[in-house]
Structure 1
Amino acid sequence: MLKHLTKAAALAAFAFGGTAAWAEAHTEFTIRATANSNENDEDYDGLIVFKDYVEAASNGRIAVELFIGTQLCSTGAECLEGVAEGSIDVYISTSGGAAGIFPYVQVLDLPYLMADDRVAEAVLQGDFVRTMRDMALETSDGAIRLMTIGNTGGWRNFANTQRRVQTPTDMEGLKIRTVVADLPQELVRALGASPTPIPWPELFTSFQTGVVEGSKNGITDIMGMKFPDAGLQYVTLDGHAYMGALWWMSNENFMAMPEDLRRVVVDGFAQLQQATFAAPKRNSIQAYADFVAGGGDLYVPTPEEKALFAEAAAPVQDWFRDNVDGGNEILDALLAAVSEVEADLSAGYESDLN
């Protein structure tokens, strides 16, 4: 029996090795994908799923090489330039990282438009993303293609060092850290707080010294950066923005593939999207538990309180329409998509609850 098992194992090993060698020998396209993050990030999880699916489903005709960190590029503008030139095939950015080239992607940062994960995930699997893709192709003269939008860190929530925030009036006077971009600063002002642009690496010290008293981040970022050790003890789960991850690809390199392989790549990005939807939910469980265990105050606004936040922040939509190129078109597309999804979910609840 052992002899037969050993022989079978040897044959299996030979077959596997032969298949791997055959796949390598028959590689027709190589996708170079980069993420300016690390291997503990949901972006990396998504890329691993993408690589595994695409290489297997293409039967080795496509190879995927991953570059995690800043090996290929270090800023959003630099990385997107690489995508446009074709030296980078795939790159993931936040909306802020791509706003310099595609300002309308900041629509994802508009507050209180998508109520929860079910709404956001359904919207991001529909025609809204295709509308944004068409706009990006036009803006980039056909060079940069938006493949999908996933998630990178859950939801943005307000956190601070001073007090529990239950309504917008509790925000008044707080110095809230923002990036150097107009839209998040408009939001903070609309809620009565003071926007204070601070580079991310300086935020821990800024909390300690009181240069800023709050931020708008996901819980995994808060715990990963050990912000509670710097005094950040109050988190309000207002969920004002879904932390969208925009996955870009060189359109020239994508279109150079035959249709059957383009289909594999599209399906690979669908797999990637699902992985990035799931990872932040799983990662946040322990992060929230650790925050509370460390003495943190975690507050969930009531529906009435959340409505007050949405009402106070409503002028930011008008600002977006008036000041962002393509703002009207993309915001109308998002609002229509949200309305359609919410109607579908409502009909589903009507059936499921009765």
Structure 2
Amino acid sequence: MKHLITGALTAALLASTAATAWAQDAAYTLRATANSNENDEDYDGLVVFKNYVEAASNGQIAVEMFIGTQLCSTGEECLQGVADGSIDIYIATSGGTASLFPFVQVLDLPYLMADDRVAEAVLDNGSDFVADMRARVLESSGDQIRLMTIGNTGGWRNIATTTTPVATPADMAGLKIRTVPAELPQVLATALGASPTAIPWPELFTSLQTGVVEGTANGITDIMSMKFPDAGLKNLTLDQHAYMGALWFMNNAKFLEMPEDLRKVVADGFYQLQQATFASPKRKSIEAYEAFAAAGGTVYVPTAEEKAAFQEAAAPVQEWFRTNVDGGGEVLDSFLAEIEAVNARLATEYEAELN
């Protein structure tokens, strides 16, 4: 046992020494930031990205990680940093990006993707939809910002409340629901009969505790990492209305200045990152649901009929997106076409798997 421990410590020290040497000898240094913490899927993804890129480039690329608000604090500020080159890599949700790239809100359109298997295939780096989104980001940013991949940050958005348990859209009537400042989530809350209230994330605990809002739409890992049950959040409805996509951006000039072999390493690194963020919420949600139940929380899974009622109530949000977002119709058609193609392919795969 002593030899095993000594060997493990030696390996760790060698890895640390190698990483330090790589950082010193690197021809390219990438400054990556995530406005989260070390318990978040974003952090998990960046650790995987850093490890892969530094090793696969044989130290030619070093990755510096800045977790929290060391480099920037808002989506607009961080994306400006990516555009001007002071930040090389940044991760944002669609809500945090919508003010600059309104079309990314397509990821928040409700009840379009059935489950993880569908969502992960739709967001595959080689899909036509992701290629369309990448082209739109480049064009909208004047070729300054590049969309590298779309991962996940927290699983699926579900309806959670402090007061009335929600089983149908009728239960949403008049509920004060917290949303991000982006318009689409507010339109969705209104369509479901609720009263949307934009609340900054750091203020949500107190807002739930004091009754400023009576509910929110978040994934279970976020709910538990922020200890929202302590603020009175006790009811969770697994309607899974939106997959919590995470958009990873990079300064385009920094990417293109590297030789092609290193660009491939970076692209492959983002693939590794994406897969890590797909997996991380699945594992973390197990413990999070257990903790939610232990804190007195109750979980409700809507029936097929109840889910259909939510879909019907939320249907006007698609028309809002087509009408109010520049290029919204084209982006939504691209999204729907990818979903349809994935569903058709999965039907064939299930036929082979189940028979």
Q: TM-score scaled by structure 1?
A: 0.93
Does residue 1:315 correspond to 2:316, yes or no?
A: yes
SS at match of 1:311: helix
Cα drift, residue 245 of structure 1:
0.5
Does residue 1:143 correspond to 2:144, yes or no?
A: yes
Structure 2 equivalent of residue 181 of structure 1: 182
Structure 1 equivalent of residue 3 of structure 2: none
SS at match of 1:39: coil
SS at match of 2:110: coil
The amino acid that maps onto 2:244 is M
Does residue 1:124 correspond to 2:123, yes or no?
A: yes
Q: Which runs of 5 or more structure 2 residues have no equivalent in the other structure?
A: 1-5
Whether the 8 Å contact between 2:95 and 2:181 is mirrored in structure 1 is no
Superposed, 1:43-54 pairs within 5 Å as: 43-54=42-53
Paired with 2:128 and 2:173, the residues of 1 have a C-alpha distance of 38
Aligned length: 347
Q: 1:24 to 1:47 in 2, by over 3 A?
A: closer
Cα drift, residue 200 of structure 1:
2.2
Cα drift, residue 289 of structure 1:
0.9
Q: Which runs of 5 or more structure 1 residues have no equivalent in the other structure?
A: 1-5
Structure 2 equivalent of residue 71 of structure 1: 70
Q: TM-score scaled by structure 2?
A: 0.93
Structure 2 equivalent of residue 294 of structure 1: 295
Paired with 1:320 and 1:197, the residues of 2 have a C-alpha distance of 19
The amino acid that maps onto 2:250 is M
Whether the 8 Å contact between 2:237 and 2:299 is mirrored in structure 1 is yes
Q: 1:62 to 1:317 in 2, by over 3 A?
A: same
Cα drift, residue 100 of structure 1:
1.1
Superposed, 1:47-126 pairs within 5 Å as: 47-125=46-124, 126=127
Q: What percent of counterpart residues are identical?
A: 71
The amino acid that maps onto 1:73 is C
Cα drift, residue 20 of structure 1:
6.1
The amino acid that maps onto 2:80 is E
Paired with 1:16 and 1:296, the residues of 2 have a C-alpha distance of 43
Paired with 1:15 and 1:211, the residues of 2 have a C-alpha distance of 53
The amino acid that maps onto 2:58 is N
Does residue 1:239 correspond to 2:240, yes or no?
A: yes
Q: After the TM superposition, which of the residue ranges 172-181 and 277-286 deviates more from structure 2? A: 172-181
SS at match of 2:38: coil
Q: 1:109 to 1:297 in 2, by over 3 A?
A: same
Cα drift, residue 13 of structure 1:
11
Structure 1 equivalent of residue 201 of structure 2: 200
Paired with 1:108 and 1:64, the residues of 2 have a C-alpha distance of 28
CA RMSD in angstroms comes to: 2.2
Deviations along 1:110-165, one digit per CA (max 9) or x if unpaired, are: 10111110000000002211110000100011000000000011110001112221
The amino acid that maps onto 1:213 is E
Paired with 1:298 and 1:13, the residues of 2 have a C-alpha distance of 42
Q: 1:51 to 1:189 in 2, by over 3 A?
A: same
The amino acid that maps onto 1:27 is A
